[in-house]
């Protein structure tokens, strides 16, 4: 028996902690997408969220190449995905490649480029959650093929491919392995594993 969207979201949504932003509680990375188009107004909103991310020296090194289903850009991004991702990502209505300028405006190396792209992309995924959209980032793609197909200049570093769209029922996925992952509880390290008062000593937060 498989679960409905509502049932799987109940499992996946973050246990309520007072004061968390609702979008943080609701964001997770489904693989089941229903192919429904995302409006250009909502697409604008998710990139507007990325736009307002903080960045080192306000360099704003992020760039996004957006492919809407049926477009050449979508097909090019899709063609670079590893087989595991191809098995589900083709139902996302938008595929986006995030890249970052590895050089600052004055031509020096920007050591924070990918860091800033990640921050902007986190903002994008939270805004999407706020709009009832699902996102799923992928590192499983051929970077060289993506660089060539999308003509990304050499001084841009490649980040993740982001699938964006509306969530579908887990049962719509292509195989049992994907369905199993779709309904599995999410796991996270406890705070004491990564918040320290001195190196290796858990901070006393409570």
Ligand X SMILES: Cc1cc2nc3c(=O)[nH]c(=O)nc-3n(C[C@H](O)[C@H](O)[C@H](O)COP(=O)(O)O)c2cc1C
Residue ranges of the alpha helices (H) in the chain? Answer: 5-12, 22-26, 40-51, 72-79, 83-89, 113-130, 143-149, 176-183
Measured from the CB of residue 124, what is the shortest distance to ligand X in angstroms? 12
Q: Of 38-46, 95-103, 138-146, 168-176, which segment contacts ligand X by CB under 6 A? A: 138-146
Measured from the CB of residue 203, what is the shortest distance to ligand X in angstroms? 23
Measured from the CB of residue 199, what is the shortest distance to ligand X in angstroms? 25
Q: Is 105 or 132 the residue whose CB approaches ligand X more closely?
A: 132
Task: Determine the longest span between alpha carbons in the chain, in angstroms.
Answer: 58
Measured from the CB of residue 136, what is the shortest distance to ligand X in angstroms? 6
Any bridge partners for residue 99, and if so which?
A: 63, 158
Q: Of 17-25, 38-46, 92-100, 137-145, which segment contacts ligand X by CB under 6 A? A: 137-145
Using CB under 6 A, which of 139, 144, 155, 196 touches ligand X? 139
Tell me how many residues contact ligand X (CB under 6 A). 9
The SS3 of residue 141 is: strand
Q: What is the DSSP string of 24-52?
A: HHH----S-B--PPPPHHHHHHHHHHHHT
Any bridge partners for residue 134, and if so which?
A: 165
The residue ranges that bind ligand X (CB under 6 A) are 28-29, 85, 137-140, 160, 186
């Amino acid at each position: 028996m498989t679960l409905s969207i509502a049932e799987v979201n109940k499992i996946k949504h973050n246990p309520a902690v007072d004061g968390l932003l609702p979008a943080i509680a609701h964001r997770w990375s489904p693989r089941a997408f229903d192919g429904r188009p995302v409006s250009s107004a909502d697409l604008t909103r998710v990139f507007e969220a990325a736009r307002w991310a903080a960045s080192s020296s306000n360099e704003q090194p992020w760039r996004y190449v957006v492919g809407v289903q049926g477009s050449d850009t979508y097909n090019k991004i899709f063609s670079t995905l590893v087989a595991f991702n191809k098995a589900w990502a083709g139902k996302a209505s938008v595929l986006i490649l995030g890249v970052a300028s590895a050089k600052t405006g004055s031509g020096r190396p920007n050591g924070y480029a990918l860091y800033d792209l990640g921050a902007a992309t986190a903002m994008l995924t939270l805004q999407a959650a706020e709009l009832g959209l699902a996102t799923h980032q992928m590192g499983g793609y051929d970077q060289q093929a993506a660089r060539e197909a999308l003509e990304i200049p050499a001084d841009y570093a490649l980040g993740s491919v982001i699938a964006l769209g509306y969530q579908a029922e887990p049962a719509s996925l292509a195989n049992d392995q994907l369905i199993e992952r779709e309904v599995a509880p999410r796991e996270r390290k406890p705070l004491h594993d990564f918040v320290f008062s001195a190196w290796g000593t858990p901070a006393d937060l409570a």
